[in-house]
Structure 1
Amino acid sequence: MPNLSELKQEKLRRLKFERYRDYEPTGIGEKFISTIGNGKHFISMFSAANGVGKTCVGANIMAHMLFPCGSKWFDYPLFNKWEFPKRARIITDPTTITSTIIPELRAWFPEGRYKTDKKGKNYDYYWTTDTGWQFEIMSYDQDPKEFESATIGLVWLDEPPPESVYKATVARMRRGGVMYITATPLTGSAWMYDHILANKDNQAGYRTYIEADVESACKTHGVRGFLEHKNIERMIAEYSEDEKQARVYGKFQHLIGLVFKQWDRKMHTLRPFNINNQEYCVYEMLDPHPRNPDAVLWVAVDRNLQKFVIDELYLKCEGGTEELAQRIKQKAEQYRVVRRLADPSAFIEDQHTGKSLATRLSHYGLHYLQATKARTNADRRIADALNYQKRGDELIVSPEVYIFDTCQRTIFEFEHYRWDEWTGKVRDKKDAKQKPIDKDDHMIENLGRCLIQEPRFEAVAIENGLDNRYDNSGVIGSVDDPYE
Structure 2
Amino acid sequence: MSGIRIVNPYKPQPRQLLFHTCPADEVLYGGAAGGGKSEALLQDAYKNALKYPSCRIIMFRRTFPDLERSLILRSRQIFDPRLGKYNESKRRWTFINGSTIEFAYMDRESDVFNYQGAEYDFIYWDELTHFTETQYRYMISRLRGKTPIKRQIKAATNPGGVGHSWVKARFIDIGEPEKIHKPKPTEDEPKPGTRCFIPAKIFDNQALLKNDPDYLRRLESLPTKERKQLLEGDWDSFSGQAFDEWNREVHVIKPFKIPDTWKKFRAVDYGRTAPFCCLWFAIDQDHNLYVYKEAYQAGLDAVDQAKLIKRMTGPDEKIEYTILDSACWIKNQYGESIADTYENNGVPVEQASKDRLNGKDRVHAWLKVYEDSKGNKYSKLKIFSNCVNLIRTLPALPLSERNPEDVDTDAEDHAYDALRYGVMSVPDPREYAPIEQHALSHIRKDDDYLPHALQDDEDNNYSWHDL
* TM-score normalised by structure 2 residue count: 0.47
* TM-score normalised by structure 1 residue count: 0.46
Rg larger for: 1
Q: Which has the higher contact order (CA 8 A, sep 6+)?
A: 2
